[in-house]
Amino acid sequence: MSTPALKGNSPERSWPLWEVFVRGKRGLSHVHVGSLHAPDAEMALRNGRDVYTRRQEGVSLWVVRSTDITASSPDERDSFFDPAADKVYRHPTFYDVPEDIEYL
């Protein structure tokens, strides 16, 4: 992590982009809601609160530097997720059982 450099009178140009995740309520997982620029993680959290939870939309907030996220490529989507495509036997509906059996 390098210190953001000052550039002219517009330092926010070099502020990193942060992805914001909100936990709507206890028991739910954090969900991506958007992004913002901030000089550091603490400011990103504060600004994330102001921008994305003005109506009590969350009980917990995560901010992650966008550059720290490694994403799968849409170009490789088919081959990347291919291994699961031909394994229908991972689903319970794959199996034949007599019709009148209950609780199975």
Partner 1 sequence: MYGNDFVDPDEPLNAAESGGVEDAMAAASAALARRPDGGSSFDALLAADQRIEPRDEMPEAYRKTLIRQIAQHAHSEIIGMQPEGNWISRAPSLRRKAILMAKVQDEAGHGLYLYSAAETLGVDRAELLDMLHSGRQKYSSIFNYPTLTWADNGAIGWLVDGAAIMNQVPLCRCSYGPYARAMIRVCKEESFHQRQGFEILWTLLRGTQAQKDMAQDAVNRWWWPALMMFGPPDTGDAATAGGHTEQSMAWGIKRFSNDALRQKFVDMTVPQALKIGLTLPDPDLRLNEESGHWDFGAIDWSELWRVIKGDGACNAERIEHRVGAHNEGAWVREAANAYAGKRHRAQQDVYVA
Of residues 1-20, those binding partner 1 (CB under 8 A): 1, 3-4, 6, 9-13, 15, 17
Sign of CA dihedral 11, 40, 53, 50: negative
Least separation in angstroms between CB 89 and partner 1:
20
Distance separating alpha carbons of residues 34 and 20, to the nearest angstrom: 5
- Interface pick for partner 1 out of 36, 45, 49, 65 (rule CB under 8 A): 36
User: Contact between 31 and partner 1 (CB under 8 A)?
Assistant: no
Q: How far is CA 14 from CA 3, 4, 49, 104, in A?
A: 10, 6, 21, 58
CA 45 from chain center: how many Å?
15
User: Contact between 76 and partner 1 (CB under 8 A)?
Assistant: no
Q: Which residues bind partner 1 (CB under 8 A)?
A: 1, 3-4, 6, 9-13, 15, 17, 33-40, 42-43, 50-51, 54-55, 71, 73-75, 77-78
